Amino acid sequence: MQALTNRVKVLDQKPLTFKERLYLPAIFSGMLITFSHLFKKKATINYPEQKRPFSPVFRGLHILNRDEEGRERCTACGLCAVSCPAEAITMESAERQKGEEGLYREEKYAAKYEINMLRCIFCGLCEEACPKDAIYLTETFAPANYSRKSFIYGKPDLLIPDPTKEPEAFAKAQGGIKAHKEKVR
Ligand code: SF4
Ligand code: SF4
């Protein structure tokens, strides 16, 4: 058979020496390597009991933010969706009706807001593009799941708690936002 290149090497198959045929020296040197690792610092941790600190630039799951009165900040302008390179964000806008001023901060709001976490590359461009402080990436990551559908996060998954109803949970979520912003600054 003709070789395509001149890089072909003919390998010598030398017969095994007496020491190699015994196999025991090779087994002992392998065991020695294994035992020497018993006394070294472990490279692994007991997750989830122990957690490693995140990198300052880590970006995880998104949240939709509320203001101090519990109103949704998102005005469904679509800038986050337009800036998303992965086309992971979809939304449907709606007009705020009379009497809904306590629910939505602006005259328009996102009646439907979805992020496909399987598409998302966690680049943070949606957060950068938002003019209303309405979307943030946090230090939480999407839990594992068996179905693709469960990775499509809707408003109930993304909206942070209402401060008028759950002030502690809201403060916790807000604290996460502030800490994250300060880290990446
Ligand atoms: S983080 Fe990036 S990829 Fe993910 S939704 Fe935002 S803009 Fe799209
Ligand atoms: S999250 Fe921000 S950028 Fe996206 S639609 Fe709402 S207000 Fe606009």
Span 81-90, pLDDT tens digits:
999 999 999 9
| Contact of 81 with 112, CB cutoff 8 Å | no
Query: Best of 82, 121, 139, 158 to mutate for ligand 1, by most ligand atoms within 8 A of CB?
Result: 121
pLDDT value at position 14? 87
- b vs e for 150-162, b when ≥16 Cβ sit within 10 Å of the residue's Cβ? ebbbeeebbbbbb
| pLDDT exceeds cutoff 90 at 8 | no
CA 93, CA 91: separation in Å to the nearest integer? 6
Residues with C-beta less than 6 Å from any ligand 2 atom: 74-80, 110, 129-130, 132, 134-135
Residue 183: band (very low, low, confident or very high) from pLDDT cuts 50, 70, 90: low
The answer, as to whether pTM is greater than 0.85, is: no
CATH among 3.30.70.3270, 3.40.50.300, 2.40.420.20, 3.40.50.10490 for 62-184: 3.30.70.3270
Domains in the chain: boundaries: 62-184
pLDDT value at position 121? 96
Q: Cα 183 to the chain's mean position, in Å? A: 16
